[in-house]
Structure 1
Amino acid sequence: MYSRHRFPGEIISYCVWWYYTFPLSYRDTEKMMLYRGIEVTYESIREWCQKFGQQYANQLQRKRRYITDKWHLDEMVVTIKKQQYYLWRAVDSEGNVLNVLLQRHRDTEAAKRFFRKLLKKQGFVPRVMVTDKLKSYEAAKKQVMPSVEHRQHKGLNNRAENSHQPTRVRERRMRRFKSPGQAQRFLSAFDPIRSHFHPKQHDLSSKRYREQMRQCFEDSWEITCVKDAA
């Protein structure tokens, strides 16, 4: 997995985890490694994140224990080079991010495109879908998921709206996204990796939280092949 790389997999994986888990820049990550006596350039860290980030994210999603059948959908505005885009996001009732898709519009066709991508990735149709009152959701649902119960109420969709907050933090830290492609690539890896290392601490006892974090680390070592190489 890490053949032809000058640095061992442990260092590469730590840099990728740090960058996606915390609001750090590539240069911040470089400084953190230098503090530990490891000299690596931010250009190398960027290459590692682009090469391995999506691989790690895909494997983390495959390891998820379950996805609930109640999905919350919402969209947020993202400005890229003075152009307005819409980031569509779906999460389940436990807050697991199911999919994100950046699109130029938020009309019925855009909603249908997001639904189809979401269903293809998850492999099953939800029992309930919760959205705000955007009419595009209802029109698209009738064509793509006619059997799904649809609840339209802004107050019921806080889970999806709250899931936008980490994206906003990173957007500010990165001084906005540079292009639609760059934003889509980053967020596709960012959501699964960040959520993996951020269990819902307020819902857990201290003991249970530590146990869950230990399991998160075990999973990450398995995914990055670091444990096998140790």
Structure 2
Amino acid sequence: MKNAKSLYRGHRFPAAVISCAVRWHFRFQLSLRGIEELLFERAVIVSYETIRRWCDKFGACFAHRAKAARRKPGTTWHLDEVFVTLRGEPYLLWRAVDQHGVELDILLQKRRDKAAAKRFLMRVLASCAETPRKIVTDQLRSYPAAKAGIPELEHVKHVFVRASARLNNRAENSHQPTRERERRMSGFRDPERTQVFLSSFGPIRQHFALKRHLLRASLYRKQLGERFAAWHRFTELTQGPSAL
């Protein structure tokens, strides 16, 4: 029986270095040059452009594995959209989270009409194994119009909230990490690269973002250790990157 090809085949740097650099980029608010400096301190000489290529190549793969390994999504979907500016052009970033705050999917689009809402709903349905019990949205008319055209959502309860009253906190709070990263990166630029980055950013960040304020220190460390063990499986590391 032939051995499966290594995920890192053709790369001269060890898997521990690549995995660590990709995790730092999506988990923390570090620039590529900042990661280059951190690796240099650890006697790893690599350019920030190489780190960028690592993140482009491995980020989506690691994010997909992190999403596949997490618990089944909740039965309530909170949907919301937020404006982002890319090189002076306004775009809508559509996001869906469940009642636990777990990001289900995101989609960057130019419009806010029925077709855009339907495209987003179909994308979220494709990424989730089961249809929701309830959908919570603001009062944007595109949502009910798009939902009516999707047979799987025909009998799903639809709850509207007033965005001005900040009642849809679950969805609106889910935008905060993206806003923080947007400021750290001095804004997003290319729509395609922004979609790719944010699609990986959410699952990888949330894989390590435990609700520390709700956990005892010992339980927090135990769960964080489990998350790191899972990360090593996602990234095909035989042992932890102790050298880093």
The residue aligned with 1:175 is 186
Correspondence for 2:147 among 129, 138, 141: 141
Partners in 1 of 2:218 and 2:160 — Cα distance?
38
Normalising by structure 1, what TM-score?
A: 0.96
More helix by share: 1
CA shift for structure 1 position 171 = 0.9
CA shift for structure 1 position 156 = 3.7
Cα contact 1:73–1:160 (8 A) shared by 2: yes
**Aligned amino acid, residue 194 of structure 2:** A
**Aligned amino acid, residue 147 of structure 1:** H
Correspondence for 1:18 among 1, 11, 24: 24
- Report the secondary structure of 1:226's partner residue: coil
CA shift for structure 1 position 148 = 0.8
CA shift for structure 1 position 228 = 6.1
Residues 1:61 and 2:67 are matched in the alignment: yes
Correspondence for 1:29 among 18, 31, 35: 35
Partners in 2 of 1:113 and 1:124 — Cα distance?
18
Correspondence for 1:163 among 174, 182, 197: 174
User: How well do the aligned residues superpose, as a CA RMSD in angstroms?
Assistant: 1.3
Correspondence for 2:118 among 106, 112, 117: 112
* Structure 1: 5+ residue stretches without partners: none
Cα contact 1:197–1:213 (8 A) shared by 2: yes
The residue aligned with 1:44 is 50
- Report the secondary structure of 2:230's partner residue: helix
CA shift for structure 1 position 208 = 1.8
Cα contact 1:222–1:228 (8 A) shared by 2: no
How many residue pairs match? The answer is 230
The residue aligned with 2:127 is 121
- Report the secondary structure of 2:71's partner residue: coil
Between the two proteins, what is the percent identity of the paired residues? 46
Cα contact 2:232–2:240 (8 A) shared by 1: no
The residue aligned with 1:215 is 226
The residue aligned with 2:79 is 73
* Structure 2: 5+ residue stretches without partners: 1-6
Normalising by structure 2, what TM-score?
A: 0.91
